[in-house]
Structure 1
Amino acid sequence: MQKPTPQRFLPLDVFRGLTVCFMIIVNTPGWEDSYYILTHAKWNGCTPTDMVFPSFLFAVGNAMSFSMRKFEQMESKAVLAKILRRTVLIFLLGYFMYWLPFVRHTATGWEFIPVAETRILGVLQRIALCYCLASLLIYYLPKKAVWIVSGLLLVGYWIIMYASGDYSLTGNAALAADKFVLGDKHLYHGEGIPFDPEGLLSTLPAIVNVIAGYYTGLYLQKAGSTGTSLTRLLQAGCLLIAAALVWNLAFPINKKLWTSSYVLYTVGIDLLILAILNYVIDHKKQVKWTGFFTVFGKNPLFLYLLSEVLVIFMYFIQVSQISVYRWINVNIFQRLAPGKPGSLLFALVFMLLCWSVGKVLDKKRIYVRV
């Protein structure tokens, strides 16, 4: 933990805060039924929920446009060590989070979960890998070369997916690659089969979300929140969305495969959102409403981890033969508002619980960094 840096970028804090806030809400439904906007697309397509993770990666890139300034005064070895250290720490946090609480319930009691059955990849692991590879590309290559590599990642991923399988859950090349490298037991099993939506091959196009966020941050720092700069962001966002919709005809927009069209689509929407936030906050000076979201934006990693760990233990601890998570919803929230309203109410209350922890940290000016 460390004290905050004197310079903060309010639109970025709000953008991150919106992302983390919505991420907690969609990750903690209280019941089986949820409103459409709070669920992922079953396969192809993109709901508001499918915007959360790519927006977080975009925000990581935005933050890098500020933090990587320090690299100019550092030796290359020190820069490389810093990047690798942060990558390993975030990756391990994600890995151990999925392993928690290290034991599981069985008919005879608790049983230790062996390493051979742990999920290796996941949300934080993808953030770590994308941060690492994007940072190395940006640090070692000129801007033009980084954009060329970004294009190759998107087109190359499309070629691999087209040539080595199809775009179905069971027949895609990303699944085949993950099974070959990691094996079934180390993959996510929430889709009914071993399939990891944060797999190795599908991480390659996700790097572009971070790179786009980085250069967007640099552009705003140089151009400022002027009418011209924000108009260009809006134009770029609309062009990317249009390109994504055209590409969608051949390579469907799909979050679980993290298709190249999905990258363009999500970056386009993020550009529109960030342009609007900059206009409202920096240009129109409307900042009174931002305080709620900056609580999440200033401690995004810690509050995300807190939300996930709390849920893990709420599912693990049992009351009357059911998990605490289920018991709370059955006996409180579903009685107050059955079905979807109760599910949303629980998610909102849980989000506010995490926010209250963040508020205490913010008041004490404590910001958790990795």
Structure 2
Amino acid sequence: MFNISMSHNQTNYYTFEEDCFKSRLKYEIMDTSKRLISLDVLRGLTIALMILVNTPGSWSYIYAPLKHAAWHGCTPTDLVFPFFLFIVGLSVYFSFKKNSGESSQKIVIKILKRTLIIFLIGFCLNLYPFFNFSEVRVMGVLQRIALAYGAGALLCFIFKGYRLLIVLAAILLGYWALLFYGAHSDPYSLEQNLVRRFDLFLFGEHHIYKGFGIPFDPEGLLSSIPAIGTVIIGYLIGQVMSTENSIVLKIRKLLLYGVLMVVLGSIWALVFPINKPLWTSSYVLFTAGLGTLFLAVLIFIIDYKKYAVWSKPFVHFGSNPLFIFVFSGLYAKTISYLIKIPVEGNLDKISLYKYLFVKGFAPIFGNMNGSLLFAISHIIMFWLLCYVLYKKKIFIKI
């Protein structure tokens, strides 16, 4: 199931000059065996932000930018997941380019295999640590990644050029029509939306997320359809990056397409609100546009201006993203549910997670800053793990 790659050379992914991070990074536009450094930095930044927003000391003490929008709208936290799927699309393009000599059958089998494995890992993560099949959540973050990757990669493999743009438009416009006509009144509300009703019909209320006060899954099956669009846009941006050799022209094109998508998404939001839980089509364009702009900024800083020293920790994070996601999830659940600590004067034990915050961080730094620093401490801890894996040239892939 897993391929743990251990290289005795510098790495199969990057080409560095011997002292590149003492002075500057040597960047090479991809040939079939090299990966873009900026792409790995973007992936690493996304993973670091994911850890930051997922491990506060207390969910009661979170600064506003680190909270999801209550319903409509978009905060920095709401960019984490679409950025990751955007990067998945970029990676799909470069993977296809690298494996262009493989047979169609082999490529399709590889896509389907990865889709199934990632979905099952996500399902098992939902089962942990109580393994209660009667109330296990079927969908989740990894499940959406699996479906969006699988469907997106197959569509990008089958359709080329303007046909892929037509497919993208059909997905985004079709999803808009589904949601608009799928409810008699207030089609984009928490209670009335078609996404919720579809998941309730398919899975039942015991097998979907309940964090909104009522059964509603923000990673539901129906709302995974527009997430495929996020992957396709990432793939198309990968094409733009690959076909333009000049870094300056590459940056200009990314800025142009990024601004265009942000503007289109913002205009569409006037009638189809930007909404992460519903993964609305306006949200797809808006976040993909921001992802494109952010990637352009990274290319400008790292590849054009050669300011690369700061990026090394994020290269470490980006080298094992799936492993870190799964491991961080298992870690958080273990110290939240399985490891309990007795507290003086309290008959009930509290979780190790809560104990570390209320007895360690909160008394020293206060509730708000302590909660933030608690999350930052986890970024440092998981970076150390990534650093060790990177130094040992261990890359866990599916």
Please tell me the TM-score bracket, short chain as reference.
Answer: over 0.9
Q: Name the structure 2 match of 1:51.
A: 79
Question: Is 1:114 the counterpart of 2:132 in the alignment?
Answer: yes
Q: CA deviation at 1:218?
A: 2.1
SS at match of 2:395: coil
**Equivalent pair of 1:119/1:188 in contact (CA under 8 Å):** yes
Which of 240, 244, 250 is residue 271 of structure 2 equivalent to?
250
The amino acid across from 2:283 in the alignment is Y
Q: Name the structure 2 match of 1:352.
A: 380
Please show how residues 67-86 of structure 1 align to structure 2 within 5 Å.
67-86=95-114
In the TM superposition, what whole-angstrom CA distance separates every residue of 1:172-193 from its partner, at most 9, and x where no partner exists? 0010111111111110111111
**Equivalent pair of 1:60/1:210 in contact (CA under 8 Å):** yes
Q: Name the structure 2 match of 1:229.
A: 250
Please show how residues 99-248 of structure 1 align to structure 2 within 5 Å.
99-101=127-129, 103=130, 113-165=131-183, 166-248=187-269
**Equivalent pair of 1:306/1:354 in contact (CA under 8 Å):** no
Q: Name the structure 2 match of 1:12.
A: 39
Q: Name the structure 2 match of 1:110.
A: none
Q: CA deviation at 1:79?
A: 1.5
Q: Name the structure 2 match of 1:365.
A: 393
SS at match of 1:114: coil
**How many Å separate the matches in 1 of 2:92 and 2:103?**
18
Q: Name the structure 2 match of 1:36.
A: 64
More helix by share: 1
The amino acid across from 1:366 in the alignment is I
Q: Name the structure 2 match of 1:280.
A: 301
The amino acid across from 2:350 in the alignment is I
Q: CA deviation at 1:142?
A: 1.9
Report percent identity of matched pairs.
43
In the TM superposition, what whole-angstrom CA distance separates every residue of 1:227-258 from its partner, at most 9, and x where no partner exists? 22211211211111111111111010000110
**Equivalent pair of 1:58/1:270 in contact (CA under 8 Å):** yes
Q: Name the structure 2 match of 1:262.
A: 283
Report the more deviating stretch, 355-364 or 212-221.
212-221
Q: CA deviation at 1:70?
A: 4.3
In the TM superposition, what whole-angstrom CA distance separates every residue of 1:110-156 from its partner, at most 9, and x where no partner exists? xxx43131111110110000110011111112222111111011111
Q: Name the structure 1 match of 2:21.
A: none
Q: CA deviation at 1:221?
A: 1.8
Question: Structure 1 residues 225 and 210 mapped into 2: Cα distance closer, same or farther (>3 Å)?
Answer: farther
**How many Å separate the matches in 2 of 1:97 and 1:160?**
31
**How many Å separate the matches in 1 of 2:192 and 2:292?**
33
Q: Name the structure 2 match of 1:318.
A: 340
**How many Å separate the matches in 1 of 2:177 and 2:96?**
32
Q: Name the structure 2 match of 1:60.
A: 88
**Equivalent pair of 1:225/1:282 in contact (CA under 8 Å):** no
**Equivalent pair of 1:225/1:283 in contact (CA under 8 Å):** no
Unaligned runs of 5+ in 2: 14-33, 343-348
Question: Is 1:2 the counterpart of 2:9 in the alignment?
Answer: no
SS at match of 1:368: strand
The amino acid across from 1:90 in the alignment is I
**How many Å separate the matches in 2 of 1:253 and 1:272?**
18
Q: CA deviation at 1:75?
A: 2.0
SS at match of 1:115: coil
**Equivalent pair of 2:240/2:253 in contact (CA under 8 Å):** no
Q: CA deviation at 1:51?
A: 0.2
Unaligned runs of 5+ in 1: 104-112
After TM superposition, the score normalised by the length of structure 2 is 0.88
**Equivalent pair of 2:156/2:164 in contact (CA under 8 Å):** yes
The amino acid across from 2:44 in the alignment is G
Q: Name the structure 2 match of 1:292.
A: 313
**How many Å separate the matches in 1 of 2:121 and 2:394?**
20
After TM superposition, the score normalised by the length of structure 1 is 0.95
**Equivalent pair of 1:87/1:129 in contact (CA under 8 Å):** yes
**How many Å separate the matches in 2 of 1:114 and 1:287?**
47
**How many Å separate the matches in 2 of 1:67 and 1:232?**
22
Runs of 4 or more above 4 Å deviation: none
SS at match of 1:285: coil
